[in-house]
Amino acid sequence: MISEAITQWKAVLGGGGVADDEITLERYARTTLDEAPRPVAVLRPRSTEDVHAIVRIASENNVVVYPISRGKNFGYGDACATTSGAAIIDLSGMDKILEVDTELGYAVIEPGVSQRQLHEYLESHNTGLWFDCTGAGFDASLVGNTVDRGFGHTRYGDHFLTACGMEVVLPDGRILNTGFGHYANARATRVFRYGVGPFLDGLFCQSNLGIVTKLGLWLMPAPEAFRFFFVRLDRPEDFMPFIDRIRPLRMRGILQSAVHIGNDLRILSSSTGYPWERTAGDTPLPEDVREQLRREAGIGAWSAAGSLTGTYAQVRGAARALRRAMKGLGKVVFVDDAKLALSGFAARCLGAVGLGKRLNAQLEALRPNYSLLKGIPTDEPLLGALWRLRTPPVYKTYDILAAKCGLMWISPVLPTTGRDAKTLMRVVEPIFTQYGFDLLATFTLITERAMIGILNVAFDKREPEETERARRCYDALMEAVMTAGYYPYRVGLAGLPKLSQPGDVFWQVATQIKAALDPQDILARGRYIPPLSEAQDREPNESG
Amino acid sequence: MISEAITQWKAVLGGGGVADDEITLERYARTTLDEAPRPVAVLRPRSTEDVHAIVRIASENNVVVYPISRGKNFGYGDACATTSGAAIIDLSGMDKILEVDTELGYAVIEPGVSQRQLHEYLESHNTGLWFDCTGAGFDASLVGNTVDRGFGHTRYGDHFLTACGMEVVLPDGRILNTGFGHYANARATRVFRYGVGPFLDGLFCQSNLGIVTKLGLWLMPAPEAFRFFFVRLDRPEDFMPFIDRIRPLRMRGILQSAVHIGNDLRILSSSTGYPWERTAGDTPLPEDVREQLRREAGIGAWSAAGSLTGTYAQVRGAARALRRAMKGLGKVVFVDDAKLALSGFAARCLGAVGLGKRLNAQLEALRPNYSLLKGIPTDEPLLGALWRLRTPPVYKTYDILAAKCGLMWISPVLPTTGRDAKTLMRVVEPIFTQYGFDLLATFTLITERAMIGILNVAFDKREPEETERARRCYDALMEAVMTAGYYPYRVGLAGLPKLSQPGDVFWQVATQIKAALDPQDILARGRYIPPLSEAQDREPNESG
């Protein structure tokens, strides 16, 4: 079956478009998770027509295909398929920026377009436009992140909300254009998401119903005024009142951007590894060492950051409201381009203007975050994955797959209240401790009312025992957060089977749609929507 | 078939829950359109269980059912089904406000909840929360408007964007909860729309795939500062530069609310009828009379309005940016509670503070708009429907069905550019003139990049010739705007068959989903998704 498919794929894509050699398959099987399936082939289409031909051949030969945009789905499944025996469709060669409209502020891109590429395009063409970056690094795909409903930290942080008009290759090869895109000469395809009739775009996120081959993406005009802010919270318990004070600012539209909050360990992990020597090899990190590290780095138990944009007067107004809200809790430090430029100066100059050495170091540490909020991607957040390596690479690397980093993300969604933050922390902290891992955590206020927690189970893949334990820790955490009512916004391969229960009408409906559009279940089998074979006995009403 | 269904429905709902008498059927067949189908029965469920039983019985007896929330879908189809022979499910008796969370700012409501009801609840319970009103009046349903993807004018103007978590009765009676709502004990159901896995909510808007029986809806905290603004544009051609100057403010997030722009006739129509005497019965309105009316009312060719919210400093900043943007084009007048209170005073007081009589009159005229932007519903916009009546009711009424108002809406979506506004106006103006109608138009900047035009074909339903001509005018307009690339965001009954063409993959997919969830096509047959019987020959791949 697969050999016949490979022959046919080669006929369409040419030899260079199809690989099934050991080295390639091994490379695509690399994962930050404990384990992931190995593919049987890797296909590299160059166009929507190629993708059309690929799925047609897959269907004829009953071979499962699994599309990846650029394969940077770190901590969730990387470039790996959900099931073994699949051929990977690597869309990274479809990397055209098809259109950038500077007047209406949007781009139309293919799935292979990376964050770096779009950033460079927007810069070099002096468009005056920014996009919302995600923390997955320079090479991550914008389309891939969007269809996984990933997020960033600006006003456009909810990426799916800024996606406008999809071209989708369906499992049977038909090409669907969503929104107004299926109408001749439609003028509003890239400015109005819904079109007319049912809004179908949601079907193609976190699912396996089609392959998105083109996407409209809204871009922000660089604002008149931009101020980065950060708030240092000294004590672990300050996190809860912080949440309750910041929520009203989000709900009133005073703060338009997402706010990003990281704990001490998550901040430390970006610049340093686990202190194996100080702890004499013990895990998890003892409390006294943790406090020491915090003191040495001059960071609080939690650090929050975000940006204010608008006119100068608006930004001043928002800054005032933010300062007022934080009174007695944490000092708000504002940074703009002028101040950041200053931080490059010698420490004595800084002393003279009252910033001090420590703040200077903090500013330097925040530079990647600062850039991110201005639409400049960065690889720095990836460094957190190196945290638990016994022998980290001597030369700094961002290639976390090559470095054998272990990384699994638990990403529960919480109402933005101090109570919920506290409950969640109480649920997860003892589990991390029990399994000997350190709780590296961030929370992002993604909507005006909800925040997403990203809890890293970071481990060393060179250590089989730790790897196996990490997986048990992940399973225990998923079980615990779901039982507590904090379901994940997104899951990795190991999380997929935990999402659906027999009799759950939601997954029944998703499965019925899958059966209607992909009766052979050849596209990304098991990705969010359970395999049709498993679902058979769950369906009271099979589609007609 | 229908008689058997009625017997069974009576057994479940009781005699009071089922009507098929002449008077009731006649009443539900009333329409502002030229014509609409008459139902065979009207059902009034009281609970989700009732709705479940209704669709089960409909399915067993193969009778089409058509759900309405409160039937105030004026200008698009009112309370009428898309096809004859249908039983109306009138959900207005399901009018419980199930939950209001003042901390997180949301309500959970049933489809029968009206704008008036929610407003009164929020006021009387001192919640400090506002909702985004639509112009369809006090009695319009919030759920109904949302699932039709209706809109209002504030920061929460895109109603579907503020809908968070649906309970849906499927055509086979199963009950679906979207987002996280299908998980036990889920904490984030009303604060995070997507849940995990495919986002299904879009399927239940502008479609016929399920009956929404509960909806989470986000509410805005009353802002610290609120300023209403309006801009008078004297000349018709000022509209285009206005659009180009306001767009950057929307795209930069400086203006967070939708901006609403009406032409002279639309403004006049809210306070006066067509000047039949002055024109000696002629239509459409001659240019000189139009100018006269404009002068007398002290209005410009266009009037734009919106609101600024946030902290006092932010609002001041936004006001400054708005004034700067309008320089040399139109004067921006700001109104807040203090100023509006003033307008109630005697004209001489106003003269003294420099406002003048005319402005006072304008302020009074704008009072409903002002209220709307603070979450207070109003019936005033409905008065526009009376515009063309030869003999309007002596006592002012908002019951436009009883008043025999004729009203069809064409609602094209445009990119927010002056060019597109100009092109659209050039396309539609001659058609209105040709058919003897007056172009009453509004444009709403619903997203940062798109605006929706609402063009009224207002006519007198007592005049058969005019009614028939209105329909031809509607058809010509729909054809023209679609050919020009400005597809509608929503359509009335007459528009539905114009949306789908054979071979359009978008409608094929929608139809496949319909076939999977409602193989008998008993739910709201023909509503957006074409009838399955028609679609048969269009489907290259029927679902398995």
Residue with tokens 């290639």: A399
Q: What is the pLDDT of residues A412-422, one digit of tens each?
A: 999 999 999 99
User: A319 to chain B, minimum CA–CA distance in Å?
Assistant: 10
Q: What is the CATH number of domain A225-494?
A: 3.40.462.10
Q: Is A519 on the interface with B (CB under 8 A)?
A: yes
Q: What is the CATH number of domain B2-93?
A: 3.30.43.10
Q: What is the pLDDT of residues A55-81, one digit of tens each?
A: 999 999 999 999 999 999 999 999 999
The per-residue pLDDT for B342 is 65
A416 vs B contacts (CB less than 8 Å)? 104, 191
Kindly tell me if the per-residue pLDDT of B353 is higher than 70. Answer: no
Q: What is the pLDDT of residues A256-291, one digit of tens each?
A: 989 999 999 999 998 889 999 999 999 999 999 999
Among B129, B149, B199, the residue to mutate for chain A (most A Cβ within 10 A): B199
The per-residue pLDDT for B343 is 63
B513 vs A contacts (CB less than 8 Å)? 198, 513, 516
Q: Examine domains B2-93 and B97-221 and report if their fold is the same.
A: no
Mean pLDDT of chain A: 93
Ramachandran region, residue B85 (left: φ > 0; alpha: ψ -120 to 50; beta: rest): left
Domain ranges of chain A: 2-93, 97-221, 225-494, 500-538
With a CB-CB cutoff of 8 Å, which residues 16-45 of chain A face chain B? none
Query: In this complex, which of B314, B509, B513 lies closest to A254 when CB atoms are compared?
Result: B314
Q: Terminus-to-terminus CA distance in chain B, angstroms?
A: 29
DSSP codes joined into one string, B171-196: TTS-EEE-TTTTSTT-S-TTT-S--S
Kindly tell me if the per-residue pLDDT of B304 is higher than 80. Answer: yes
The per-residue pLDDT for B361 is 66
The per-residue pLDDT for A356 is 55
B220 vs A contacts (CB less than 8 Å)? 251-253
Report the DSSP pairing between strands B41-43 and B87-90: parallel
Q: Is B66 on the interface with A (CB under 8 A)?
A: no
d(CA A365, CA B362): 56
Q: What is the pTM of this model?
A: 0.95
In three state form, how does the secondary structure of A109-161 look? ECCCCEHHHHHHHHHHCCCCEECCCCCCCCCCEHHHHHHCCCECCCCCCEHHH
One-letter amino acid of A495: G
Helix (H, G, I), strand (E, B) or coil at B61: helix
Cβ separation of B188 and A487 shorter than 8 Å? yes
Mean pLDDT of chain B: 93
Residue with tokens 């600006």: A154
User: A39 to chain B, minimum CA–CA distance in Å?
Assistant: 23
Q: Which two tokens stand for residue A466?
A: 């730790």
* Better-scored residue on pLDDT, B540 or B196: B196
Q: What is the CATH number of domain B97-221?
A: 3.30.465.10
Q: What is the pLDDT of residues A393-414, one digit of tens each?
A: 888 888 999 999 999 999 999 9
